Amino acid sequence: AHLHVLGNLVGLFLQIIALSVCFSGFLSETAPSLRGPLGQHVLSSLRVIRNKCNIKKACPSNTFAFKIVSGAANVIGPFMCFDNVTVMSNIKNNIGRGLNIALVNGEFFKRLLVFLHKGTLVLMAAYDDPATKLNDEARNLIAELGSSYASKLGFRDNWIFIGGKGIKDKSPFEQYLKNDKQTNKYDGWPEVLEMEGCVPKKLD
Ligand SMILES: *[C@@H]1O[C@H](CO)[C@@H](O)[C@H](O)[C@H]1NC(C)=O
């Protein structure tokens, strides 16, 4: 499958990865080279059978395993694993940089979302602040990918999301935490969000 790590498209804040999931050869083609941050502490004398992306439950074969962790404040960048491939992490150092020119006015992001193929999965994780550079049009496009919170995203809110071009209902793969002085875990930012599970290979 084609795995496009597009890096940072909306300012320095919103990380976007588009995965094309129309190819059945995906599993055999990919050669993961990095372990996730949770993969380190395993007794070496034991043969531990780990699930893809180190998630707790194995995924059925008609789904892709995933794990998404949002950024922590403005310090630690987000982590994303999809089908046992770490697509984004601090270690990979592919966060917080990217196609900056295209981002200034959100044009590139907008065009990207408009031209995504039906069936393309989109993974997003906030880092620091997901909202400031999102205009209404971009929010609508994200909502069309199945997001329930795209319209509500505010300054330094935390948010993780998997959606897809062409899905009919709201995505069940979304978490949102408001930046709120009363409940923030960090000074100025809410708690880290984390979600893992299995996303259907065929979207509908
Ligand atoms: C996932 O990737 C790791 C290496 O990063 C590998 O050791 C493991 O066997 C893979 N798991 C599956 C189920 O393919």
Q: What is the pLDDT of residues 132-184, one digit of tens each?
A: 777 888 888 889 989 999 999 888 888 988 888 888 889 999 999 998 889 88
- Reported as half-sphere exposure (CB side, CA atoms, 13 A), residue 59 has a value of 21
Ligand 1: which of 82, 84, 91 to mutate, most ligand atoms within 8 Å of CB? 84
Question: What is the bridge-based pairing of β-strands 14-20 and 120-126?
Answer: antiparallel
Number of helical H runs and strand E runs in the chain: 4, 9
Residues facing 159 on adjacent strands: 176
User: Maximum Cα–Cα distance for the chain, whole Å?
Assistant: 54
Cα 136 from Cα 118, distance rounded (Å)? 22
Nearest-CA residue for atom 12 of ligand 1: 52
- Residues within a 6 A CB radius of ligand 1: 32, 35, 52, 84
Rg (CA), the chain: 16
- Calculate mean pLDDT across residues 15-40: 38
Cα 68 from Cα 94, distance rounded (Å)? 15
- Amino acid at the residue 8: N
Task: Check residues 58 and 191 and name the one with the higher pLDDT.
Answer: 58
> What pLDDT does 148 receive?
96
